[in-house]
């Protein structure tokens, strides 16, 4: 396995645990979820973990290519949105503090699928931008030593 693959797999597992345990998708004795896990929580959780793992691979330095610029927090924001999207609406203390229990169920729970789409969209956008930046860095690195011919006037 290459170093990038190891980093990607480890990052995906860590993100899966960091999302799954506090949201109650992974059952533990430390936390009891007050609402059932919905069917769509599982694919959002899995996709968020995989996208985060693949994104982590883009941060592994390749000796022949410079590391592209970061994506300004899109990775962290996308992952945090995943936590809010798949989490129990009445178990989230911030949501209950802001909206109350009935508000969490009436207002927050219905927008959780939208948060899931936004989360996956941000993670996919960050991945696409990082991949494009990496390709541009490779092209610049490969063209750095090559003189470009000038066109006749």
Q: pLDDT tens-digit profile of 30-88?
A: 888 989 999 999 999 999 999 999 999 988 876 655 555 555 677 788 888 899 999 99
pLDDT at residue 130 tops 70: yes
**Residue pair 60/7 in contact by the 8 Å Cβ criterion:** yes
Q: Distance of CA 29 to CAs 24, 25, 26, 83, 151, Å?
A: 10, 12, 10, 19, 71
DSSP 129: H
The whole-number pLDDT of residue 145 equals 54
pLDDT at residue 11 tops 80: yes
């Amino acid at each position: 396995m290459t170093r990038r693959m190891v980093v990607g797999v480890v990052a995906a597992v860590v993100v899966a645990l960091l999302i799954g345990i506090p949201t109650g998708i992974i059952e533990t004795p430390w936390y009891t979820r007050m609402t059932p896990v919905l069917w769509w929580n599982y694919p959002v959780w899995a996709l968020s973990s995989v996208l985060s793992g693949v994104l982590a691979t883009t941060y592994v330095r390749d000796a022949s290519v410079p590391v592209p610029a970061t994506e300004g927090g899109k990775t962290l924001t996308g992952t945090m949105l995943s936590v809010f999207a798949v989490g129990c609406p009445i178990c989230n203390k911030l949501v209950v503090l802001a909206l109350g229990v009935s508000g969490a169920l009436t207002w927050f729970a219905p927008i959780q699928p939208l948060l899931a789409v936004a989360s996956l969209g941000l993670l996919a956008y960050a991945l696409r931008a990082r991949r494009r930046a990496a390709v541009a860095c490779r092209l610049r690195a490969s063209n750095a030593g090559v003189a470009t011919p000038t066109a006749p006037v």
